[in-house]
Amino acid sequence: MSNPNIVLNVNGIEVIYNHVILVLKGVSLQVSEGQIAAILGGNGAGKTTTLRAVSNLLKGERGEVTKGSIELRGERIENLTPADLVQRGVVQVMEGRHCFAHLTIEENLLTGAYTRKDKA
């Protein structure tokens, strides 16, 4: 990674479910420091799978990244546990019905940050 301002670098990932079903091919994105990114697409386009790949939550769905790389601040993260990723600040907050109803939107977004050491 040549640009030190790039926080997240997803480079040409391929995801396969059940060892045979190719669901993502050649997905790449870069997110720089301070940038807000959105992943848009119709149903089945691969938005959730991309986020699960970044969060390393594919194994629970019998999925795996078979090609490409995912880096967080220059560190390869494909083999880190979801807990390790949470400590580094990678958190997947579920949409609407999966949130804690008694918390505010901000509190829901902060739920994954409680283990971060830098609290940034």
- Assign residue 25 the CATH number of its domain: 3.40.50.300
pTM of the model: 0.77
Integer Cα distance of 118 and 26 in angstroms? 33
Comparison of pLDDT for 64 and 99, the residue scoring more: 64
Residue 1 included in any domain: no
Residue 79 included in any domain: yes
Integer Cα distance of 50 and 23 in angstroms? 10
- Has residue 10 got a pLDDT over 50? yes
Residue 120 included in any domain: no
Mean pLDDT in residue range 31-43:
91
Q: Which domain holds residue 76?
A: 6-115
- Provide the residue type at 63 as one letter: G
pLDDT averaged over every residue in the chain: 86
Residue 76 included in any domain: yes
**Tally of structural domains, the chain:** 1
Taking alpha carbons only, the member of 10, 87, 79 closest to residue 49 is 10
Non-local CB neighbours of 67 within 8 Å, separated by 6+ positions: 12, 13, 14
Mean pLDDT in residue range 71-88:
91
Residue 37 included in any domain: yes
Residue 14 included in any domain: yes
Confidence of residue 114 (pLDDT cuts 50, 70, 90): low
Residue 62 included in any domain: yes
